[in-house]
Amino acid sequence: MSLVPHPAGTGVHARAVDVAYGTDVVVRAASVSLHAGTVTALIGPNGSGKSTLLRTLARLHPPVAGSVAFADGADLRALSGKDVAKRITLLSQHRTAPGGVCVRELVEYGRHPHRSRWSGRDPGGPAAVARALELTGLSALADRPVQALSGGQAQRVWLAACLAQDTALLLLDEPTTYLDLRYQVEILDVVRDLADRHGVGVGVVLHDLDQAAAVADRVLLLEGGRVTAEGAPADVLTPENLTRAYGIRVEVVTDPADGRIHTRAVGRFNDARTASV
């Protein structure tokens, strides 16, 4: 079972945006574009503005300067909330499920922009919910109370709700948090499938640099609210860029067998072990 493919040409573009909390500007002159069928990873140290920039693309945090528009020219500020929710959805870091709902009911919340205003009808809803449950491996848990789930399972339920929303653009803020190794890999596989098989444009905040290298077509490195490097993973994930951004020596190697990029932050403990060998 697969999602309905989205048309080519969908995307969203932020141009030279400044974003502030009160008078404190936390993102400065940042530009980012998400394109259909492409995974873009946002990386950088804590407090660098990654999540804020992602929320700006979802119109949850309006910029104080610059612009955000869809590829067809529609300005986010000119659209209704429902129209925006049909185009783009965000899985944020912190969500609290209402009490007394099961997995299927929570996933059905993702269908809110597609329901008729007066009758609440949503002809495509049941199929979309079933697809989302299957893609996230939750079909067998559909009737279980959400509050009875582990943190990792609950994270997958929220992802399923985003998939049920069936948008051409998907924003994920640290989606592998709380997941064990298996489900981290499976979620990233879903992300790649969404882009490759269904034409979804994905923007994802990741702290794991190896995951970013493995899943992303493009990487944006943020430092102090500014985008300081952008491009293919191999062009951004360099020792010079990462050492500067994170304030610790970072080594980068490319596996000759499969071309995968691997990073390693070198602290005193690592240096001591290397010296003793």
Question: Does the structure show a pLDDT above 80 at 71?
Answer: yes
pLDDT digits (tens, 9 = 90+) for 151-177: 888 888 999 999 999 999 999 999 988
Domain limits, the chain: 11-233
- pLDDT-derived band at 229, boundaries 50, 70, 90: very high
- pLDDT-derived band at 268, boundaries 50, 70, 90: low
Contact between 18 and 64 under an 8 Å Cβ cutoff? The reply is: yes
From start to end of 136-257, where are the E strands? 169-173, 201-205, 218-223, 226-231, 249-254
- Name residues whose C-beta falls within 8 Å of residue 219's C-beta, 6 or more positions apart in sequence: 40, 41, 42, 43, 212, 213, 229, 230, 231, 232, 233, 236, 237
Position 260 scores a pLDDT of: 92
Closest of 276, 275, 273, 1 to residue 137, by C-alpha: 1
From start to end of 97-199, where are the E strands? 169-173
Closest of 236, 85, 109 to residue 171, by C-alpha: 85
pTM of this prediction?
0.89
Burial of 157 (0-12, 13-18, 19+ CB in 10 A): buried
In this structure, the chain runs to a length of: 277
The residue-averaged pLDDT of 182-206 equals 91
Mean pLDDT, the chain, rounded, equals: 90
CATH fold label, 11-233: Rossmann fold (3.40.50)
